[in-house]
Amino acid sequence: MINEGFEYIRNLDRDLVHTMIEADAAYYDFYTKHRYNVLFSDPFLEAHFVNSDGDIYSRVGVIDDKAYNIYKQGSTFIKGDELDPVQRRFVDFDHIAFGLLRSSTINQFTITEKVATLSYTYDEMLNKNSFILYMIDDWMDLELDEVTDVDLSGVSFDITIMMTDANPNSFDRIIIDIKDYIALKFPLQSNDHYLNARLIYEFSYGAYEKDITPDTQLVLDDYPNGLSEQAAVLPINQDVTVLGQYQYDFDWFKLILTETKTLTFETNETLHTVYSYYNANDLTRQIGLYDGSPYELEPGTYYICVQTTHDVSTQITISFNEQ
């Protein structure tokens, strides 16, 4: 049943993988995080990233054996950054629990009609598919400030695999119970405790049209979309023009100071743009640099992210001026 399910999905031209982490605590509302990928068995188009309404907000295309984010504004397609190995695993068929389950033997499963269950220890999960642990850590760390270094060797992950009624050889859900793991690694404050926490993969098999081919003309994105050593260095006391080329265009820059300076940040565009600032020594926290307010920065490297939030191309002018 399990192997037939793998092959059924692999033979499809596309399938929607809805990934989410759910966590609930006793004394306050916690969160659910979602991600939607449409995976294609296509040598050029590997995936669509879609929102909860099914609308495409980016694509992954393979050019010269490298995978790139590709965005669209109007009728223009924009080639963004190359995906790093971790990012590419999000659009790899085996990044999900399939890679973990393929390494299992049939006698590890308890199988009833349309449901299979098994369990792995932390060490087994680490050895078989550490990417799942990375993904949990990455998502949880966005919500919690402290990550506790504890002995996780006693943690187990209970896994439930559910097949669909429509086709008993196709997957409906893969659920991994992660409550014990995050309760130790991401403890809650005071007397609160987790009621449940699950990593869930849901599958659906709809029709998703491809709007791009290997022959589609691509425009290059002007600046890196992520934190990168390739980020352009910003001058001081000089305007820099940035083009928000598409909705959710992230443009990253860096500011390098060799001595302490008091700077103000100025821009012509605040309505549809979000600005974020980070010290290179601590990229988990933003620093308080706001439009028009003087801020003293010590020597070092600082990263600035300019995010366009609307869906119309806009010219943005930014500058850091010394006081």
The per-residue b/e assignment along 51-78, b for 16 or more CB within 10 angstroms, e otherwise, is eeeeebebbbbbeeeebbbbbbbeeebb
8 contacts 98 by C-beta, under 8 angstroms? no
Q: Which amino acid is at 72?
A: K
pLDDT digits (tens, 9 = 90+) for 235-256: 999 999 988 888 888 899 999 9
Class of residue 113 by CB neighbours under 10 A (exposed 0-12, middle 13-18, buried 19+): exposed
- pLDDT tier, 258 (very low <50, low <70, confident <90, very high otherwise): very high
pLDDT at 94: 67
pLDDT digits (tens, 9 = 90+) for 178-224: 999 999 988 887 788 899 999 998 887 777 788 899 999 999 998 88
H runs (alpha helix) in the chain: 2-10, 85-89, 97-102, 122-141, 179-185
pLDDT at 95: 64
Q: CB atoms < 10 A from the CB of 41, how many? A: 14
Q: Mean of the pLDDT values across residues 3-31?
A: 75
pLDDT digits (tens, 9 = 90+) for 286-313: 888 776 788 899 999 999 999 888 877 7
- pLDDT tier, 85 (very low <50, low <70, confident <90, very high otherwise): confident
| Domain(s) of CATH 2.50.20: residues in the chain | 2-204
CATH of 2-204, one of 1.10.287, 3.30.40, 2.50.20, 2.60.40: 2.50.20
The predicted model scores a pTM of 0.76
222-322: CATH topology is Jelly Rolls (2.60.120)
Q: What are phi and psi of 178, to 5 degrees?
A: -115, 15
| Domain(s) of CATH 2.60.120.380: residues in the chain | 222-322
